[in-house]
Structure 1
Amino acid sequence: MKKVGIFYSFRSVKTHQQVRKMIKLLGEANCEEVDADVATLEDFKKFDNYIFAVPTWFDGELPNYWDEYLPAIEDENFKGRKFAIFGGGDQKNYPENFVDGVGIMAEFIEERGGKVVGFTSVKGYNYESSRAQRDDKFVGLALDIENQAALTNERIENWITDIKKEFGIK
């Protein structure tokens, strides 16, 4: 089995903390971290399974580093590849676009034939709308460190249990 490529900005302290928890649960030997700030097409091609960390910035936007990286991979065929997406949002201060970045990334992946895995329940959140919501699920893991920090570890543990099955990790 190829390693899981975990793409995130190494400059993001909160995201790094979340990724470290995920790597511990997935097993160090199963993961390779990739800095989304400097990632290349070759970095992308090394994997069949991915975890993308996609926080939502401002009024429902992708972080700059994702805006800069996506053009490098937009012409790739993602067929046969699986993607799990997680991201932070703030349901209290930005309830009208809670974790929109996760939804934007899921759309980008699916338009290129990739399979998004790791859907999670919207129960337990209080927000107005989200591009990451499909029916009663988010298309990834929604984390709100600002308002629900106490729920983060359990949410990550449950999500990684599902992701391991999808990625074929024992």
Structure 2
Amino acid sequence: MKKIGIYYGSTTGSTQGVAEKIGEKLNVAETDIKDIAKFSSDEFQNYDVLILGTSTWGEGDLQDDWYDALDEIKNMDLSSKQVALFGCGDGLSYPDSFCGAMGTLHDSLGGTGCTFIGSVATDGYDFSDSQSLVDGSFVGLPLDEDNEDNQTDSRIEAWVEELQNQM
């Protein structure tokens, strides 16, 4: 069985809550759900599957705790790892940069050799554009905890099922 690590950056607690829900669905131990602010490259390398989550701030910016860790991660060899992304954003207030920080993570990890899993179709989402779109799909699971929180659980459920098929 593949060892899964979930890393999140969360300012208000929404992304942390989503990380914990995903971890629960995948039976990931609480000790393997980590705040990126406490990043350790040695621990990071211990996982076969990395699930990385960030909220999006302003016009598509990463959550602040990601910057230092990402500088280190993007220079790692992750060729033996699968990476799934999730993000929280506000499609109503920021419809043209919805969950854009997921795209920043995706682009930053492009040179690491990792294999991305868990892309999501745009059907059912209310937004106009996003930096996290590649070939017409989101690079990971976008969630709008501000305006569509009633859909979070079902979206997580469907995404986790898809991840399990891809792992």
Which 5+ residue runs of structure 2 have no aligned equivalent?
none
SS in 1 for 2:87: strand
Deviations 1:18-38 (A, max 9, x none): 122212211145971122001
- Is 2:54–2:63's contact at 8 Å kept on the other side of the alignment? yes
Taking the aligned partners of 2:128 and 2:11, their CA distance within structure 1 comes to 30
Match runs of 1:128-147 below 5 Å = 128-147=128-147
TM-score (ref. length: structure 1): 0.90
TM-score (ref. length: structure 2): 0.92
Partner amino acid for 1:127?
Answer: F
CA-based RMSD of the aligned residues comes to 1.8
Q: Which residue of 2 aligns with 1:57?
A: 57
- Is 1:109–1:116's contact at 8 Å kept on the other side of the alignment? no
Taking the aligned partners of 1:115 and 1:30, their CA distance within structure 2 comes to 24
- Is 2:73–2:109's contact at 8 Å kept on the other side of the alignment? no
What displacement does 1:135 show?
2.8
Taking the aligned partners of 2:17 and 2:92, their CA distance within structure 1 comes to 22
SS in 2 for 1:145: coil
Q: Which residue of 2 aligns with 1:158?
A: 158
* 1:81 aligns to 2:45 (yes or no): no
Partner amino acid for 2:90?
Answer: D
Q: Which residue of 2 aligns with 1:93?
A: 93
Alignment length, in residue pairs?
Answer: 167
- Is 2:56–2:98's contact at 8 Å kept on the other side of the alignment? yes
Taking the aligned partners of 2:59 and 2:11, their CA distance within structure 1 comes to 21
- Is 2:6–2:51's contact at 8 Å kept on the other side of the alignment? yes
Provide the identity percentage: 29
Which structure: greater helix fraction? 1
- Is 1:40–1:72's contact at 8 Å kept on the other side of the alignment? no
Taking the aligned partners of 1:157 and 1:81, their CA distance within structure 2 comes to 22
Taking the aligned partners of 2:35 and 2:9, their CA distance within structure 1 comes to 5
What displacement does 1:2 show?
4.1
* 1:48 aligns to 2:59 (yes or no): no
Which 5+ residue runs of structure 1 have no aligned equivalent?
none
- Cα distance change, pair 139–10 in 1 and its aligned pair in 2 (3 A): closer
SS in 1 for 2:160: helix
Taking the aligned partners of 2:135 and 2:106, their CA distance within structure 1 comes to 15
